[in-house]
Chain A
Amino acid sequence: MSDVTITVDGRSVAVSDDATILDACRDLGQDQPTLCYLENLTPVNACRVCVVEVEGSRTLVPSCSRSAEEGMVVKTDSPRVRLSRKMVLEFLASSVDLSQSTEEVHSWLDQYEVDVARYGPQVTGAAPRDGRHAGHHAIPTGLTAETVDQPVKVDNELYIRDYAKCILCYKCVEACGEDAQNTFAIAVAGRGFDARISTEFDVALPGSACVYCGNCIGVCPTGALQFRSEYELRQEGLWEEDEQTVTRTVCSYCGVGCNLELHVQDNRIVKVTSPMDHSVTNGHLCIKGRFGYDYVQELGDDLASTPIDIVLKRARSG
């Protein structure tokens, strides 16, 4: 494969001709912020936080998907880039609950000096948004900033959907569909600001095509999709991420060899993830590896004495 040479912020870098601008930036040790991009998914170009300035291009371009082309001159920190990134992050922070997003996201909010106050007080305590019809919306008063706040969807024992935290990065849809699971239980429905992730007719997950592989949870960057166990522990104020250990092991169910990362708090598995850089699964699992760990931790009546056990048991009983 031939190389192409591009210039990023004045530094020259040679990359293979199937590389993206983001790949080139990373080769230089200059990572760019990304939200909808993930190594194991097809880029959807939706979040626009990774935009960079390319000489000769009228608009900014998404670095995560735009191929590096010979002679390209890229700027990742020009005033235009900084403003667009700040605005994208501000738009999200003012309309979505980012409180449980990754640490990286919070560092970008600081780095780009995000100021949500200038949009006015945010609407909270809002009603479900699933019935909204494309092409119609309530006319704003200007007194508040509209948000995607809505009730949490809790309809099964394994995971919850808190779309008040959804930035609509499409990752869960991709993981459920062609990029991993090929189940197609969810899709983007509605339009514009009322676009949302939904099953058909918003049926509850047990009635949908969902197979509970949990790969959507694995790719969600904002905590909109969460293990039921994590959700319930957070509700009770018992979720202590700093005290958790992560143990890597191999799933014992079949012979594929998926790697598991067991997140353990107080000697209890509270969540399971899979390493994205692992050659077998690329971060994806099935229902057994993701959720089938109860057999290693007896939560019987006698032992159900710790607060965590009580919550975990309640989560699993639906």
Chain B
Amino acid sequence: MDLKFHDVEPTPAERTAVDDAVGAPDSTWEGAEERSADDLRIARGGHAARAQRHLLLPALAAVQSEIGWISPGALDYICRRLQVPPADAYGVATFYALLSVEERPGCVAHVCDDIACRDSGGTAILEAFADRDDVVPSPCLGQCDRAPAAFIQRAGSPDLTLAPTAVSEITAALEGAVPEAELPNPTPQSDRSGMRVLERVGVVDPSSLEAFQASGGFSALEKSVEMGAAAVIAEVKASNLRGRGGAAFPTGVKWEGAAREDGPRYLICNADESEPGTFKDRVLMEGDPFGLIESMVIAGLAIGAEHGYIYVRGEYPVATSRLRSAIDQCEAAGWLGNDVNGTGRRFSVEIRRGQGAYICGEETALFNSIEGYRGEPRQKPPFPTQSGLFGKPTVVNNVETLLNIPGIVLGGGEAFAEIGTKDSTGTRLFCLSGSVAVPGVYEVPFGTTLRALLDMAGGAISDIKAILLGGAAGSFVGPDALDLALTFEDTRSAGVSLGSGVVMVFNETTSFVGTTRRIAEFFRDESCGQCVPCRVGTVRQEELLARHLNGADLDRSLLDDIAAVMADASICGLGHTAATAVRSAVDLGLLEAT
């Protein structure tokens, strides 16, 4: 490969930011300033340099974070360092909403106006800042239990999450003020007796390895090592644990499939929680980061992986820093590394931060994102357990899924399977938000009814008009669905989905017109653009709604046609579900009533 670079140099600060992210360059071939005698005789930058492509996104993110935007000089330097074609790197940089290739203010506030925040003040905040270019609307920030939320990118300083927030606080943050850390109760659930996944959240200090171990931490890992990999997989299969990210695939089957393939194998914890209305994984990572690491080590040793990634969404700075601290402590204590707790087994965990792309929560898009490519989903088959990250067998599990593992190891798969129903075993986290008395994450056994769940959260505030189940990729149900048992099988036969556990309640004050439009907007913004059905279909869906809301009759047959092609012919789940919520709103008559 003979790459063409530009004659633009990075600033010293840009150079430092890149070098801190990917290491110092070995030679002028890879961008060093001082040419050595060897450089004149030995050409470098072949396969070894190109094998670093997976550092492209971390390098771009480092420049964005330190400088506030990615200049031509910075991009060019990154490309020389990693031997990536500049056009390719530009294509990657422009894929992510949190990266900017145009100079912009050093501090930028992303104010959530998504479905939970919009009616809780998010829209009003944006209106107050309408004339400013450093305040932009944002898709769901995963703070729906403390709406409205804002996420502040600050050049040279760590990112901030503000929730609940207000105009004055955002103004101050943009001027450099850092609010005093205030952490609302991560889970308001008063009855903790049935808690398995949330057991430590809000109770055990998430910053202390000692506190984690004092609460029984790593006992499951020790037991799993005694059991051996095959026995662990057998227990997970016996538990009938199914994925909590939305697709509900049996976890044990996935593990077994990957373990059967030749290595190297990878484990990925999908923490790119971006489904509007979802915040459970954030609560878990903030509240029990060591628990997630223990779960990952168990999973990694079971499938025979030596390296794991946590792909955490970029808008979760608190979760990221807590995980980072937990990883450091676990490495120092020997729970991670070349000899996990004296077993002679190797397992390490690396954090990768997303940069603002919902699609990267799709597992194959996530692979491309880690590998340094645009986060575009891949065609399946082949499936990740055969050919995943770097083309190797890969297990991708959601945060909540993984945190079920220690309990299964300690208590056995059969005992786990006795919780919930036959086909939906264990407990489930639900993200309650909107018009409920006490929003937050609640853990209940599968089979709990929607009504009982809402009662735990203090009930709805005034009469329920509709409930969004499963997020923007899910669907609205009416108050007649309150007796629906929350299981995979019951929701499927009702034609809805539990998705990522979103239960967002709307009452008669909700503007369903605005909410439904926002969902259509969301998919139009978050489509990766690769396949025609989703790239254009999400635009046409939004336009069709706009036309209807401007007074035209709803063109139902066109809406159905758009939905059909997106569901049938899109590459990935984003397109498949991009019309579900909109159509359910129409079916329930929510758009006419308002």
Contacts and interface: CB of A to CB of B under 8 A. Distances in A.
A123 to B, nearest CB: 10
A139 B546 contact: yes
A195 B3 CA distance: 24
Interface in B45-104: 72, 75-76, 85-91, 94-97, 100-102
Given A46-B530, A118-B555, A142 B543 contact: yes
B34 to A, nearest CB: 26
Interface stretch (A184-192, A221-229, A245-253, A279-287): A184-192
27 contacts: A45-B379, A48-B532, A59-B569, A65-B379, A80-B564, A95-B539, A118-B555, A119-B543, A133-B97, A136-B137, A137-B525, A140-B543, A142-B550, A143-B547, A143-B550, A145-B543, A184-B3, A186-B87, A187-B85, A187-B88, A191-B95, A192-B529, A193-B538, A198-B90, A198-B94, A199-B86, A208-B4
Interface string A13-44: 00000000000000000000000000000001
Given A134-B357, A187-B88, 10 more contacts: A47-B532, A48-B531, A84-B565, A91-B535, A118-B555, A139-B517, A142-B544, A187-B91, A193-B535, A201-B101
Report the 6 A-B pairs with minimum CB-CB distance, sorted nearest first: A135-B97, A142-B546, A195-B529, A142-B547, A184-B85, A187-B91
Interface in B362-393: 374, 379
A87 B86 contact: no
A46 B72 contact: no
Interface string B554-571: 010010011011011111
Nearest to B529: A195
B528 interface: yes
B346 to A, nearest CB: 33
Contacts of B88: 184, 187
Contacts of B570: 48, 59
A209 B6 CA distance: 9
Contact of A84 (B102, B527, B564): B564
A65 B382 CA distance: 11
Contact of B89 (A51, A87, A186, A200): A200
A92 interface: yes
Nearest to B551: A142
Nearest to B530: A46
Given A51-B569, A92-B536, A136-B136, A200 B528 contact: no
Interface residues of B, number: 70
B492 to A, nearest CB: 13
A120 interface: yes
A194 interface: yes
Nearest to A134: B97
Interface in A93-115: 94-95
Given A47-B532, A83-B564, A209 B85 contact: yes
A49 B552 CA distance: 31
A190 B533 contact: no
A6 to B, nearest CB: 16
B576 interface: yes
**B interface, by DSSP: helix, strand, loop or mixed?**
helix
Nearest to B565: A87
A139 B521 contact: yes
B84 to A, nearest CB: 9
Contacts of A191: 94-95, 97, 357, 525-529
Contact of A142 (B1, B525, B548): B548
A135 B525 contact: yes
B276 interface: no
B444 interface: no
A167 interface: yes
A200 B86 contact: yes
A184 to B, nearest CB: 3
B539 A193 contact: yes
A192 B527 contact: yes
Nearest to A119: B540
Contact of B531 (A47, A95, A139): A47
B465 interface: no
A294 B542 CA distance: 50
Contacts of B548: 142
B369 to A, nearest CB: 12
Contacts of B357: 134-135, 191
B485 interface: no
B470 interface: no
A141 interface: yes
B91 A120 contact: no
Nearest to A209: B4
A293 to B, nearest CB: 26
Nearest to B537: A91
B352 interface: no
Interface in A53-81: 59-60, 62, 65-66, 80
Contact of A59 (B2, B3, B550, B567): B567
A201 B71 CA distance: 9
Nearest to B545: A142
Nearest to B377: A45
B300 interface: no
Contacts of B374: 188
A199 B1 CA distance: 17
A189 B373 CA distance: 11
A237 interface: no
Contact of A192 (B102, B538, B562, B569): B538
A185 B3 CA distance: 9
Contact of A198 (B87, B517, B547): B87
Interface string A203-221: 1000111000000000000
Contact of B139 (A62, A120, A135): A135
Contacts of B531: 45-48
Contacts of B248: none
Contacts of A65: 379
A168 B96 CA distance: 19
B291 interface: no
Contacts of B89: 200
B565 A83 contact: yes
Contacts of B545: 142
A134 B87 contact: no
A232 interface: no
Given A80-B568, A134-B97, A198 B521 contact: no
A60 B88 CA distance: 30
B204 interface: no
Given A47-B531, A59-B569, A95-B539, A135 B356 contact: yes
B428 interface: no
A87 B87 contact: no
A119 B545 CA distance: 12
B524 A193 contact: yes
Contacts of B521: 137, 139
B527 A200 contact: no
A146 interface: yes
B90 A84 contact: no
A191 B535 CA distance: 9
A168 B535 contact: yes
A74 B88 CA distance: 37
B56 to A, nearest CB: 12
